[in-house]
Chains A and B, each alone.
Chain A
């Protein structure tokens, strides 16, 4: 008995020892900064000076009535919706087509994955030129096709800018989900197709009866990923529009960045960051439980 106990203890100690490096790193680089930013959210601080002014919950109260923050939050919600309904179907479609093609389409898999390999900043700069209403690729193509009337002020018009940016982000992320779904499709046992073939199923029936149902868990996971990604999205928007014009493309993260780093309001920036943390965590947990319950 005594021996059993000490053996168990030793085993636990061993486990703890192996986990410790990871735990310490996660603690220092993930958990501690989160705690720090919650702490900072209680202060007024310019980010530079040694003194901080304790405000209590004032920043949080301000946040609740900050119309730009809620506008940005609304944009985030719109962004989640758009990215899921645009990215998922296209990614599934490409994945299924590439999967059906088998080895012959391997080259396309790499080719279609290219956007994912570029850094967001590079994509942002690239599309800034593509969207340039005077010299850009899009305006060039439109004028070549004599469709000048369709030419828009892609990034400068508050009514258009948001969709222009969303289109680029979808372009960037569809490859990610495509690979995700290709991996899931390759897990579908070959026998199912063979059985279906014997039953005389058509290509369409393959999709609706075999592939889509078996992809469902992956689609759910992809949606959660997309949801969380959309809530904290930042880089491309910042490079392309800085959240402008007139806050049209403002997301929570760009607004946080601007407050913390451009306006020297580190305390309020931390409040936004902490609010984002709460919102994203809640949304993530909620989505996880909703999708899990349906699976059962």
Chain B
């Protein structure tokens, strides 16, 4: 049976990939993680434009699920089966590959004809290592914002909060009306971490985390980290999150279902929420979806404009094993050329490209917030070395599960960081 299903699976996969032109001899293998129908088609179209200009090439486009992609990439890299072009978020895990000599330095390509200047400056942070550029920013800004159902807010006469206290009042009101205030699917742990990171960011400012992570005079057991844990657990105890959130899976849409059905009112999620909601439930996107930035906390040190996330959410890198790096880089350029920028905006992204105008007011609003932000704190799990990131995510999930106290959680993380960096 397993042989049969394997054959079936390979037929399915094969037919999915068999769209490249026949007769072409040079091949580029390209892995990305945009798996919704609209996005998949968009990327394919962009690749097709490259193929048209390069008839001697064929491109094997492989869309993969977010979390399985991470594993697959790692195994492929370790066993010298790496794709030629792959998607990355930059930061810690990506630099592991850079340090291992698996990623091609594309600084020279980026400087050619001043191509680099096309992109917003902030986009280069997570992919600059040793003063060299290792990937092209392609997919739009990804910052965490609180998405909410306009209709529910209107029905209960709720106003967009500017302070955390106002936000807590909204949670209380919604709770009393029998609506789940905040939807959350925390099986994969990072969606819950968004709460913790934003709280720390607002409480201690961006430097609190950076000092602790860089071991430059900060500690994960400092006050903002403990306080963030307390505030997070306060939310849990208030019943702000849906039943069973620690077992729900974001990848399969279990949190968004609550949002779409109106059972829950808010979700703290990245800006990729826009294309996803647009693709999954268009009328919800058009009539009910809106967002506000994470509210500021009274007495917190965080800059009011500060955000957690990144100016470009997905980057594309070329591997050193790629036989045609120049063309592979050129293919990536097709993913973010002028036509692609238009397509991406239609899709619901905010490309990391300078001087954009949007017809969709939602995108314009995000763009304004992102360009106004004084600091954008990179996702911790991308910033931290992978081993520490995993430990951290486990700890935050336990905080959500109320199986660890905020103080113990902060101390555990500090100990893990100490153990790791001492080496």
Q: Which A residues have a C-beta under 8 Å from some C-beta of B?
A: 46-50, 117, 119, 125, 128-129, 131-135, 151, 153-158, 161, 241-242, 244-247, 258, 261-266
Is the CB–CB distance between B403 and A155 below 8 Å? Answer: no
How far apart sit A39 and B380, CA to CA, in the bound complex (Å)? Answer: 33
Across the interface, A47 reaches (CB within 8 A) one of B1, B74, B252, namely: B74
Q: A128-B254, A246-B401 are in contact. Are A266 and B78 (CB under 8 A)?
A: yes
The distance from the CB of A140 to the nearest CB of chain B, in whole angstroms, is 13
Do A153 and B247 touch across chains, with their CB atoms under 8 A apart?
yes
Hey, which chain B residues are within 8 Å of A133, CB to CB?
A: 242-244, 247
Residue contact B74 to A261, C-beta cutoff 8 Å: yes
Contact A261/B75 with A119-B5, A158-B401, A245-B401 known, Cβ cut-off 8 Å? yes
Interface: B273 (CB within 8 A): no
Contacts A132-B248, A156-B245 known; A263 to B390 CB distance under 8 Å? Answer: yes
What's the nearest-Cβ distance from chain A to residue B272, in Å? Answer: 21
Residues in A neighbouring B74, C-beta threshold 8 A:
47-48, 261, 264
What chain B residues lie within 8 Å of A128 (beta carbons)?
Answer: 247, 249, 252, 254
Residues of B within 8 A of A132 (CB): 244, 248, 254
Q: Let me know if B244 and A153 touch, CB within 8 A.
A: yes
Assuming the contacts A119-B5, A155-B187, asked whether A261 and B71 have C-beta atoms less than 8 A apart, the reply is: yes
CB distance from B310 to the nearest CB of A (A): 21
Q: Which of B96, B244, B249, B252 has the most CB of A within 10 A?
A: B244
Known contacts being A49-B99, A244-B187, is A117 close to B1, with CB within 8 Å?
yes
Chain B: number of interface residues, binned into ranges: 35 or more
Given A263-B386, A265-B387; A134-B78 close (CB under 8 Å): no
Chain B residues near A50 (CB-CB < 8 A): 100-101
Min CB distance B101 to A, Å, is 7
Q: In the assembled complex, which residues on chain B have CB atoms less than 8 Å from the CB atom of A156?
A: 186-187, 243-248, 401
Among A133, A155, A264, chain B packs the most CB atoms within 10 A around the CB of A264
Asked if B374 is at the interface (CB within 8 A of a chain A CB), the reply is no
Whether B244 contacts A157 by the Cβ 8 Å rule is yes
In Å, the complex CA distance between A247 and B189 comes to: 12
Which A residues are CB-close (under 8 A) to B1? 117
A245 touches B247 (CB 8 A): yes
Complex formed: what's the CA distance from A138 to B390 in Å?
32
**A230 → B minimal CB distance (Å):** 20
Contact A48 B390 (CB under 8 A): no
Q: Supply 12 A–B pairs (Cβ within 8 Å), ascending by A.
A: A47-B78, A49-B99, A49-B100, A128-B249, A129-B252, A132-B244, A132-B254, A134-B244, A153-B247, A242-B187, A244-B187, A245-B403
Looking at the assembled complex, report how far the CB atom of B252 sits from the nearest CB atom of chain A, in whole angstroms. 7
Residues from chain A with a CB closer than 8 A to the CB of B17 are none
Give residues 79-126 of B contacting A (CB, 8 Å). 93, 96-97, 99-102
Which one of A155, A258, A261 contacts B247 once the chains associate, using CB atoms below 8 Å?
A: A155
Q: Give B residues with C-beta under 8 Å from A.
A: 1, 5, 70-71, 74-75, 77-78, 93, 96-97, 99-102, 186-189, 242-249, 252, 254, 257-258, 261, 263, 385-387, 389-391, 394, 397-398, 400-401, 403-404
Q: Which residues of A contact B70 (CB under 8 A)?
A: 261-262
Q: Which residue of A lies closest to B400 (CB)?
A: A245
Q: Decide: B247 and A161 in contact? CB cutoff 8 A.
A: yes
Question: Given the complex of chains A and B, what is the CA–CA distance between A129 and B77 in angstroms?
Answer: 33
Which 4 pairs from chain A and chain B are nearest by CB? A155-B247, A156-B247, A49-B100, A133-B244
Q: A128-B252, A154-B244, A156-B246 are in contact. Are A246 and B100 (CB under 8 A)?
A: no
List chain A residues, Cβ under 8 A from B71: 261-262
| Secondary structure of the A contact surface, majority rule | loop
Q: Which of A131, A244, A265 is in CB contact (< 8 Å) with B397?
A: A244
Across the interface, name the chain A residue whose C-beta is closest to B67. Answer: A242
Whole-angstrom CA separation of A136 from B78 in the bound complex: 39
Cα-based distance from A129 to B248 in the complex (angstroms): 9
State A46–B97 Cα separation when bound (angstroms): 10
> Given the complex of chains A and B, what is the CA–CA distance between A129 and B390 in angstroms?
26
Q: Name the residue among B70, B242, B247 with the largest chain A CB count within 10 angstroms.
A: B247
Q: Which of A50, A117, A134, A266 has the most CB of B within 10 A?
A: A134
| 7 more CB-based (< 8 A) A-B contacts, given A241-B187, A245-B246 | A49-B100, A132-B254, A156-B243, A161-B247, A262-B71, A263-B390, A264-B96
Q: How far is the CB of B137 from chain A (nearest CB, A)?
A: 23
Q: How far is the CA of A153 from the CA of B77 in the complex (A)?
A: 38
B96 A49 Cβ-Cβ under 8 A? yes
Interface centre among A48, A155, A157, A158 (most CB of B within 10 A): A48
Let me know if B78 and A262 touch, CB within 8 A.
no
Write the nearest CB–CB distance from B82 to chain A, whole angstroms: 10
Task: Report the separation of the CA atoms of residues A146 and B68 in the bound assembly, to the nearest whole angstrom.
Answer: 39
Q: Could you tell me the distance in whole angstroms from the C-beta of A133 to the nearest C-beta in chain B?
A: 4
Residues of B within 8 A of A155 (CB): 187, 244, 246-248
Q: Are A48 and B96 in contact, with the CB atoms below 8 A? A: yes
Q: Determine if A245 and B100 form an interchain contact, defined as CB atoms under 8 angstroms apart.
A: no
| B residues less than 8 Å from A134 (CB atoms) | 242-244, 257-258, 263
Residues of B within 8 A of A264 (CB): 74, 93, 96, 385-387
Q: How far is the CA of A241 from the CA of B261 in the complex (A)?
A: 24
A129 to B400, CA, bound (A): 21
Report whether B386 and A262 are in contact in the complex, using a CB–CB cutoff of 8 Å: yes
Give Cα distance in the complex from A263 to B393, angstroms. Answer: 11
Contact across chains for A131 and B247 when beta carbons are under 8 A apart: yes
Q: Which residues of A contact B257 (CB under 8 A)?
A: 134-135
Q: Could you tell me if A244 and B101 are in contact, using CB atoms closer than 8 angstroms?
A: no
What separation, in Å, do the CA atoms of A246 and B404 have in the docked complex?
9
Closest to B242 in A: A134
Kindly list chain A residues whose C-beta atoms are within 8 Å of the C-beta of B93: 264
| A131 proximity list for chain B (CB < 8 A) | 244, 247
Cα–Cα, bound, A37→B207 (Å):
41
* A153 engages B397 (CB within 8 Å): no
Contact across chains for B96 and A46 when beta carbons are under 8 A apart: yes
